Amino acid sequence: MTAAQKFPTFDFRHQHLLGIEELSADEISLLLDRSDHYAEFNRTDVRAPQILKGRTVINLFFENSTRTRTSFELAAVRLGADVINMTVEHSSIKKGESLLDTALTLNAMHPNVLICRHPESGAVKLLSQKVRCVVMNGGDGAHEHPTQALLDAVTIRRRKGRLQGLIVAICGDVMHSRVARSNIYLLQTMGARVRVIGPPTLVPGTMEQLGVEVFHDMESGLKDVDIVMMLRLQLERMQGSYVPSEREYFRYFGLDKQKLSSAREDALIMHPGPMNRGVEIDSEVADDIGRSAIQEQVEMGVAVRMACLEVLTCNLPILETR
Ligand code: ASP
């Protein structure tokens, strides 16, 4: 048996996972189906197949992360990979040159997969053009966070049984959110209706061109929605003042029981984390075990990253024999 035959192959035409925008509905469905498969493994004591045995995965994070870095690490370890974590102090980054230097250093180490988070939009794509391995985007600036949108989608699909036809409201700091962008691409590709709700200062004018409905008040925006997806105020990406005060922001845009009453009775509450309790979300709704899917999102994060590692590395033996 040749190396290529030992691995399953999937109908996925990308070498890297840089964004949801470039994925077709079939490719998204494939990743969601494989995520479901791994979610079941993760709930039992049965070890997942060691499909990454002998492979090296490097986590290269130029920005803070808790859930994404840990779950990529756990996902890679569960599939048998050797994992190295490299955290780069934000203050030591000089865009461009240092990123390309990093690529040269990484090439010399011969990793098989590189997972990268970077504060600049487009930086992960640039890196993917310079390194000789599979690259996955762990979040680049306000651009994309593809595995977050996939884990949100698998959480919704498991709870609601579908994505098609659902009404999803993405609320808050849409302007600075890579989570919002990746979710908009994914949900629309899969046939959901997307609304964004936020103050005019935090909703970019390009939203309507994406086919998204824009609302500037929670009551009308949340009417009849199936999913309420809250976003963190991304203070670290704001230059200048976008909201009068956190207290006032909570009053108008923070999700509490009262505002939630406009949504469907069975609407699901989501948040990618980290949460600013009392700023964009009230603890009473965040911790409502009947309606909040926030912990399940974290659980699905590991399964989704296992699925992405599997699907993207299945072509490695072929690529490496070229
Ligand atoms: N963890 C998500 C991200 O990295 C959301 C957030 O930070 O607010 O984009």
Tens digits of residue pLDDT in 21-60: 999 999 999 999 999 999 999 999 999 999 999 999 999 9
- CA dist 3 and 12 (Å) reads 19
Which pLDDT band holds residue 93 (cuts at 50, 70, 90)?
A: low
Q: What is the pLDDT of residue 312?
A: 96
**Residue 194 alpha carbon to ligand 1 centre in Å:** 19
Tokens coding 303: 């399964």
pLDDT at 97 exceeding the cut of 80: no
Q: Is the CB of 117 under 6 A from ligand 1?
A: no
Mutate-to-test residue for ligand 1 from 143, 144, 148, 173, highest number of ligand atoms within 8 A of CB: 148
Looking at residue 319, its pLDDT comes to: 53
Burial group, residue 70, by CB count within 10 angstroms (0-12, 13-18, 19+): middle
As a whole number, mean pLDDT of residues 234-260 equals: 90
Cα–Cα distance measured from residue 82 to residue 215, given in angstroms and rounded to the nearest whole number: 46
Cis amide leading into 119 (omega within 30): no
Nearest CA among 20, 7, 281 for reference residue 152: 20
Mean pLDDT of 97-110: 84
141 lines ligand 1 (CB under 6 A): no
As a whole number, the mean pLDDT across the chain is 92
Provide the whole-model pTM: 0.94
pLDDT at 106: 86
Q: b/e per residue, 97-107, with b = 16+ CB within 10 A?
A: eebeebbeebe
Residue 1's pLDDT is: 39
The span from the CA of 289 to the CA of 275, in Å, is 16
What does the pLDDT read at residue 7?
A: 58
Give the distance (Å) from ligand 1 centre to CA of residue 2.
41
Per-residue pLDDT averaged across 137-155, rounded? 98
CA 229 to the chain's CA centroid: 13
Residue 70 or residue 244, greater confidence: 70
**Which residue's entry shows tokens 């990746």?**
182
Q: Evaluate: CB of 176 within 6 angstroms of ligand 1.
A: no
Q: Encoding tokens for residue 252?
A: 């108008």
